[in-house]
Amino acid sequence: MKLTIIVPCYNEEQVIGTTHIRLLSVIDKARWDGEILYINDGSNDGTASMLREFSSGDSRVSVISFSRNFGQQAAVSAGIHHCHGDYAAIIDADLQDPPELIPEMLDLCLKEKSNMVYGRRRSRKGESRFKKWTAKLYCRLLNKLSEYPIPLDTGDFRLIDRKIIEAYRSLPEKNKYIRGLLAWMGFKQVEFLYDRDARAAGETKYPLVRMMRLATDGLVTTSRKPLTVALHLGLISMAAALLFALYIIAAYSPRHITAVPGWALAALIIVFFSGAQLSAIGVLGVYLGSLLDEVKERPEYIIVDDDEG
């Protein structure tokens, strides 16, 4: 039995050395064959050269380098496309998810005869209250809007078997939200509770803007309900407009309703309807933009030789 550990990396020179030592320790102590597959996601620091050094002379270590930064989801996708193991473990390079838990996840997978074990965070160290709160809110909102259940409080830290690997490789879309896709696949999935550590070194690669972009991708790729929400908002706006029209007719009839003249109500109505229209157009625009990316049929990522990366 062979396990591939997939590690996406972007500007991780401050922590990747420690990560590599801990990953090798996991493999050395394991009862199964293991390999490490690093994906250099267009790093512009010393990460690429360090990864090449790790793989030099060690057949258990492989490196895939991108021509630029395509994003963490594309890096994980490349790892799944190129792994050779009967099982694959996905883990970030920042050591927030402890590599030492991988053997326990594999044991659980074998014991439960499941196809996937996903890590569910019991606690999250080193993160601000704002990030914890927004992540919790988003996970629950996504689960409500999704057309299939997505496990709460999870990330990409998980272990998958060959059936899921092959099923994933068959998916043609380019804009992927991996945890949503893996949930959509079904199969037997079990959770693994763990405590998430603080980042060992370096800075997060997911500032607020990138988190919002990932959240938008998650909503668009897992659900069509935002389109339904936009439709309902439009219907509510039309109903409100009809009621206001009846009010105007009554106000200017011979037995009229006393109305205070002024611009406030008119301005409020204009703003309301404008906002409703813009929000509906915005939702449609996001879906159309995602569709445009798929129609272009550009590759999800571009791989270069190690000496170019």
Q: Is-contact 196 123, C-beta < 8 A?
A: yes
- Same structural domain, 22 and 86: yes
Q: Is-contact 43 126, C-beta < 8 A?
A: no
Rounded distance, CA 191 to CA 102, Å?
13
CATH number, domain with residue 49: 3.90.550.10
- Same structural domain, 77 and 35: yes
For residue 309, the one-letter residue type is: G
Q: In a 3-state reduction of DSSP, which class is residue 116?
A: strand
pLDDT in tens, 155-164: 788 899 999 9
Least confident range of 79-88, 89-98, 176-185: 176-185
pLDDT band at 212 (very low <50, low <70, confident <90, very high): low
Q: Is-contact 199 95, C-beta < 8 A?
A: yes
Q: What is the pTM of this model?
A: 0.68
- Same structural domain, 232 and 263: yes
- Which residue would you say has higher pLDDT here, 64 or 186? 64
pLDDT for 179 equals 78
Residue range 218-223: mean pLDDT, rounded: 60
pLDDT band at 131 (very low <50, low <70, confident <90, very high): low
pLDDT band at 309 (very low <50, low <70, confident <90, very high): very low
pLDDT for 178 equals 80
- Which residue would you say has higher pLDDT here, 206 or 28? 28
Which residue in 153, 280, 175, 307 sits closest to 226, CA to CA?
280
Any domain includes 220: no
Q: What is the DSSP letter of 49?
A: H
Find tokens 């809007």 and name the residue. 145
- Same structural domain, 68 and 182: yes
- Which residue would you say has higher pLDDT here, 119 or 209? 119
pLDDT in tens, 253-279: 655 555 555 545 665 666 666 666 766
Residue range 209-224: mean pLDDT, rounded: 60
Those residues with Cβ within 8 angstroms of residue 268's Cβ, 6 or more apart along the chain or in another chain: none
Rounded distance, CA 290 to CA 292, Å?
5
Structure tokens at 269: 């109505």
Could you please report the per-residue DSSP string of 139-205? HHHHHHHSSS---TTEEEEEEEEHHHHHHHHT---SS--HHHHHHHH-S-EEEEEEEEPPPSSS--S
- Same structural domain, 171 and 279: no
Residue range 197-211: mean pLDDT, rounded: 58
pLDDT for 89 equals 93
- Same structural domain, 237 and 95: no
Give residue 253's domain range: 225-296
What is the domain count for the chain? 2
- Same structural domain, 6 and 127: yes
Any domain includes 213: no
SS3 string, 189-243, reads: EEEEEEEECCCCCCCCCCCHHHHHHHHHHHHHHHCCHHHHHHHHHHHHHHHHHHH
Rounded distance, CA 225 to CA 222, Å?
9
Order of strands, sheet of 33-40, starting from the edge strand that comes earlier in the sequence: 189-196, 116-124, 154-161, 87-90, 2-9, 33-40, 61-66, 303-304
| Host H or E run for residue 120 | strand 116-124
Any domain includes 244: yes
- Same structural domain, 143 and 96: yes
- Same structural domain, 181 and 249: no
- Same structural domain, 280 and 182: no
- Same structural domain, 35 and 171: yes
